[in-house]
Structures are given as structure tokens and as C-alpha cells.
A and B are shown apart, each in its own frame.
Chain A
Amino acid sequence: MQYLLMAYVNEGSWPKMTLAEQQQGAAAYKAYGEALKKAAVLVGNNRLQPTATATTVRIANGKSQVLDGPYVDSKEQLGGYYLIDVKDLDAAISWASRCPAAGHGIVEVRPIWSM
């Protein structure tokens, strides 16, 4: 089954980190990505630009309405995702718990709607 692991982190804390801390953080994510690849479960992953760069779009009264900013303003923001293919929810949870974001934020595990 495919699962999307969504990493919610406080994006405001990243710029406040020292360069060494940032390097260490990035290295942890890199190692995590490598582990996923080595286990042959990674389908795709990306880190997202901060929510300040987000734009929301919706159609209201037949007209598209475009707004600056993210859909939800929350303490933690979606900062990246991993799409993985594993046997079951237990395996997905086990990978989610290894994600560095679980240590300084929250990882939401969502099964992919299979067509």
C-alpha cells in the first residue's frame, strides 16, 4: 500500500538555527531519505518552500479567486512529504517514526486512495 508521510514542522525555527545545526538537520533528513531508498520503499519525496510562498486558489461564483498565503494558518506547517510503498499501516508508522520531523514536529500518515 502507498502512504503519504506529511512532515509538519514549525518553519520559523529553521532560520533561527545556527549553520551547524542546519547542516546537522539537513544531514538527518538526507540519511532518512537514503534509508527509505535502500529499503526500496520510497516512491517520491520533496521538501517544500515556506508557507510565505504559498498561494491558494478556489473558484467562487464562477470566478477563480486567488489569495496569498497558505490554506490553514497553524503552529506547524507542511514542510515536505515522502510517498512510500509498504506492506501495511504498521510499516508506514514505523517509517514515520524514523522521520526526523517526528522529533521536532508531527508526521501525518495518510493512505493513498487506490484507483
Chain B
Amino acid sequence: MDALQPKPMNSCEGDEQARNLAEAVARGSYGKLVAFLAARTHDVAAAEDALSDAFASALADWPVKGCPANPEAWLLTVARRKMIDAFRGQRREIGGEELQGMAEGLGAAAIAAEIPNQIPDQRLALMFVCAHPAIDAGIRAPLILQVILGLDAKAIASAFLLSPAAMGKRLVRAKEKIREAGIPFRVPEPEELPGRLDAILDAVYAAFAEGWSDPGGTDVARRDLTEEAMFLARLVTELLPQEPEALGLLALMLHAEARRRARRREDGEYVPLAEQDPELWDSRMIAEAETLLLRASALGTLGRYQLEAALQSAHVDRCRAGRANWTEVVRLYDALFALAGSPVVAINRALAIAELHGASAGLDAMPEAASDPRLAEYQPYWAARAALLAKIGAQGEARQAYEIAIGLERDPAVRRFLQTRQSVLDGR
């Protein structure tokens, strides 16, 4: 945690240092400051407003008067004052001396409590608020990105393919619910922790997946999202070091991230896993992922993210050693399917079965689009079907399946890759 804290500085020359320091604090401490400010009032939006005012004041004040020794405490003091002012202003609008008295007595006093020297890290509690079952599952990831990391609605909206106005409105509504419905600011008790933690991990993974869907890294908003998601996953493992699924999630992300460079040729063309050059993988990230997985398995509770990370690890092993390990891979997919029987897992399991027992066995294991309407619009489903159909010699059906996959893909490089596969069918 200490690494996140900006080093105390006694003086700074000019705007640039002040700006750098403010940015460093914003990056490392934003969520911590929001969590501290909102813990008493449960008003996340007010805490964010006050904090952004405080950052603006810092940029005006620090270049002139020098950077404070404890920038976090400085920001907190200013933000708290702004919050009290806003609170009083609001109550005045409602009117009535009695109400104002109440405002002073309750709200302002609650906000104005002592600022401790060491600001307690309540980010985890705040994440549990954002991923509370009473908050709509679809808004949890955007909410965490905004509240813990300070990303603005516009950046989040573009990553999640929503209009900024719609995203902004949903975020505002979620914060209102947090304030009005009495969602508690606390880390759940051990007995309810696993289920509640899953919601956080799912939200973090959703953020990562949104960023990952642009593996070429051409869209900056999306690429940044994978970094932010890794930061969040790391934060969770630091705050809850004994939770195997949190470790599993971070391991899974590290495995994916380690292969980012290898997924594209220099000319930008897409390279599937089997054809990637292991030399291009980031071996430091892979090693860290393996260490995390070992730590997780020592804790004794298996889960979805550990299994997915273990699968990544098996893929890496196979490609590096050039030795087929499909029996192990199918076994892992079986376990994953039993735990989280999603159609996505079923597709990958079918592909592994095809490697082990042949393409027609793989096709038999493939889920039916008729059984799940989401599959009909899922590109990897059609691409996987097409590949297996081609292998059993059903050229016509394979061509058709590739056609659908191509029509559903939004990444131009992947689209070209699928088109090449399709044209091979015709012997062109």
C-alpha cells in the first residue's frame, strides 16, 4: 500500500511539479479519499464533487505556496470544508431554522470529524458498496471505475459502448440509491464474503474484458481500461490477501496481458494462440501469474477464476513445451463448466474435446444456438463451429458459419483473419 502513497514534498517549483503531485495523488489515493469522505454521509456524489473542487484548489494553491508535506490530508481538509459548505447550502434551500439547526448538528458534525494522520483505507468497503446486490449488476463495473479510480463518465461510456449521457444518468442513479437506500459501508462478514466478493471480482473482470476487446490497442480508452482493471485486481489482492479467487483473477489477467504483444503481427494482423511466438510473451507477467496461482491453490478453495487462470497456464505450457496437454485442458474445462456452465465455457470445452477426440466429437459437444439466443450473436461461437465443420469436410456449412462470424466481428484484424480462413475453404 505504501507504494501508492506519494512521497512527502516540502516545496515545489512551478505548476508542473504541483500538477505531477496532484496527478500522483489522484491516481493512487482518489478512491481512498472518496471512501473516507463518503463513509459517514454515504453521499458518494457529494464526496466526489468536493474532492474535485479540492484538486482544483490544489492546482491553484500548490504552485504558489509550495506542495504540502501531506498532500492527502491537505486535500481531505479542503474537500471536507467544501462538503460542509455544500451541505449547508443545500439545507438552506430547503429552508427553516429548525432544519438548518439539524443540518449543523447532524450532517456537518458527521463530516467534520477528526482527520487522522494515517487515513484509513476504506476502498474495499466502498467497492463492496458499488458491487452490492441492490445495485444493478450492469452498472457495478462502471461505478467502481468512477468511484475508486476517478475515471470520468465520458471515458467509461466510450469503453462500455454507451452514450456519455446514458452512462452519466445510470451512474447518478446508482449513487442516489447508495445514499437513500442505506447500503452499508463495510466489508461483509466472513460467512457472506465469498458471494459478495464474487460480485466485485466480476465487475473488475468486466472492466478488464471491455478493455481487452481491443487487443490491437488502437483505442486508448479501452487499453487504459485493462490497466485500470489490473490496478483494481491488485488492490483487492492487497486488501484481501487470503482470498484465492481474487488471486486467481489477477493471475488470469496477467496471463492475458502477457500475450498481448504476440496477438498481433507487426503489420497488425491477428495471430491465434496456436500460432503465437512464445518468445514475444512477457515471461515476467507469466511467472507472477504462476506464483499467484500457487498461492491461491494453497488456500484450498477452488473457483471460476482460478480454473480460468489454470487453463491459461496450461495453454502457455503446451505452446512453450510443444507438448499436447489436451487431456488436462478438457479436465479443467469440465470442472469450469460444472462450476459456471456458461455457453462461452461450453464452446471452448468443445474446441478442446475436438483436439483430443476429433472434430466431430467437438461438434457434438458444441452448444446449440437454438438453446441460447445469445449464441446466435456471439462471434466466437460461429468461428469455432466453422473451424470444426471445415475439419470434418462440411465446406458449405463451414463457409456459412464463417460468413456469420465475419458479420458479427467488430475488430477489423480479426475480421480479416476469419475472411482468410473462409477463403482457404474455397481453395482460393
Show the binding face of A for B, using Cβ within 8 Å. Answer: 1, 3, 87-90, 92-93, 111
Which B residues are in CB contact (< 8 Å) with A92? 182
**B180 A87 Cβ-Cβ under 8 A:** no
CA distance A3 to B132 in the complex (A): 18
In the bound complex, residues from chain B placing their C-beta under 8 Å from that of A87 are 184
Least CB distance from B252 to A in Å reads 29
B residues 170-193 touching A (CB-CB < 8 Å): 180-184
Query: How extensive is the interface on chain B, given as a class?
Result: under 10
Q: Are B134 and A88 in contact (CB under 8 A)?
A: no
Instruction: For the complex formed, measure the closest distance between the CB of B136 and the CB atoms of chain A, giving whole angstroms.
Output: 14
Q: How far is the CA of A92 from the CA of B182 in the complex (A)?
A: 9
Tell me the interface secondary structure of chain A in the complex: mixed
Determine which of B133, B180, B182 lies in contact with A88 in the assembled complex, contact meaning CB atoms within 8 Å: B182
Q: Is the CB of B134 within 8 A of A1?
A: no
Q: How far is the CB of B131 from chain A (nearest CB, A)?
A: 13
Which residues does chain A contribute within 8 Å of B182, judged by CB atoms?
A: 1, 3, 88-89, 92, 111
Taking CB atoms, residues of chain A closer than 8 Å to B134 are 89, 93
By CB atoms of chain A within 10 A, which of B180, B181, B183, B184 has the most?
Answer: B181
Instruction: List residues of chain A with CB within 8 A of the CB of B181.
Output: 89, 111
A-B contact pairs, 20 of them (CB 8 A): A1-B182, A3-B182, A87-B184, A88-B182, A88-B183, A88-B184, A89-B132, A89-B134, A89-B181, A89-B182, A89-B183, A89-B184, A90-B183, A90-B184, A92-B182, A93-B133, A93-B134, A111-B180, A111-B181, A111-B182
A77 shortest CB reach to chain B, Å: 24
Q: Give Cα distance in the complex from A93 to B184, angstroms.
A: 12
A88 proximity list for chain B (CB < 8 A): 182-184
Instruction: Give the docked Cα–Cα distance between A11 and B183 (Å).
Output: 31
Chain B: CB-nearest residue to A115: B99
A1–B183 alpha-carbon span in the complex (Å) = 11
Chain B residues with CB under 8 Å of A3's CB are 182
In the assembled complex, the Cα of A1 lies from the Cα of B180 at a distance in Å of 10
Residue in B closest to A88 when the chains form the complex, CB atoms:
B184
Besides A87-B184, A89-B183, 18 more A-B contacts (Cβ < 8 Å) are A1-B182, A3-B182, A88-B182, A88-B183, A88-B184, A89-B132, A89-B134, A89-B181, A89-B182, A89-B184, A90-B183, A90-B184, A92-B182, A93-B133, A93-B134, A111-B180, A111-B181, A111-B182
